[in-house]
Structure 1
Amino acid sequence: MANVADRAQMDAAARKGVDTFGEINVACCNAGVCRLAPFEEMDDATRDFHIDVNIKGVWNTCKAVIPYMLKQGGGNIVIASSVTGDIVADAGEAAYAMTKAALVGLTKCLAVEYAGRNIRVNCSQLGYARTPMVKKMAVESNPEDLESAINDIAVGVPMKRLAKPIEVGELFAFLGIDESSYLTGSQIVIDGGSTLPETMSIGTN
């Protein structure tokens, strides 16, 4: 266990990983937070909390593992961005959207910078999955009826459900193995098609 917002703790975690397993082949940067609030009511502490975890956490993780990957001759980094910020957004998500969009830029820069040294960097762009973070967001949106809030999310997804966490993990696993060896700097949307419809009321369905 380590706090991604603490650079020293992430350095220690990477060192322990190498001491235990001999090398670091894949780093999954997937720690994230989201707290909803109207922009005019969102205080600086909440903004900074998102920056510390969502941006600095990924930065610290990459800083910790890349030296080992360079030494061993390569590796893979998978960054958990989101469809939020880079593609879509909801009211009350200003801090979350800002930080997740920033991760797309970081992914692309690191991918270019390390492509010639056999380190691949890709990012996932998740829609909604049944995770503790989404459940917390649902409570903030509809504290009287958590399941109703989650079901309302699913209505806007063409597949009519949220992702299972294991499905997101399988994407991370794919991006970390040789079967994805020609992918770097990619943004892989995994959202059940939720960003595809132009509207939910026009069309033949």
Structure 2
Amino acid sequence: MATNPSPRTGGRIRNDEAHEAVLDATTALLESGGYGALTIEGVARRSGVAKSTIYRWWKTKGDLVMEAYTRTTAHRVPSPDTGTLTGDLTALLHDLYAIAHHPARAKALRGLMAEAQLDPAFAEPFRAWIETRREVLAEVYGRAAARGELAGDLDLAHATDLVYGPFWYRLLVGHAPLDPADAPAHAARIRTALTAREA
């Protein structure tokens, strides 16, 4: 009969390992069952970290889930630095649209968005996660402005929405596909929209 791993306690290295184990378990459970089905008890069982430790490190389930997904998405959709605005947008969009190949991830994202609309307490950590993804584009646009590819007074919020707006709309509504092969064309159109006033 299989037994659960012993709870991990004590020591800086063990604490770091336990922290990573909890985040890994949280992402896995989120993408296999959704936010509603995820429990701290389930995370404790899967990670081998004591439930009391998890509660001590994270105030709420929402805080835990969004920290886990912040780390996960930073790995899956890293900040690109190809040397050109078009190259950066293409790389970012390609990684974003790759969710089409992972239905469980797409379902998890839809569930998180829905939960954020229904639960005001969850909305705060969700929006904090969204802000980390917007900051990636702020870095991209900042480098492009420094290279002279974009105007220094760019409307950063609108420019960011040009990328993430279509992504979320297609993910949630499903009226059009999210295809990584479309990334170069979409990136070119976004760049044209951002630089049109300078023509």
TM-score of the aligned structures, taking structure 2 as reference length: 0.34
Relative to its length, the structure with more helix (as a share) is 2
* Rg larger in structure: 2
Relative to its length, the structure with more strand (as a share) is 1
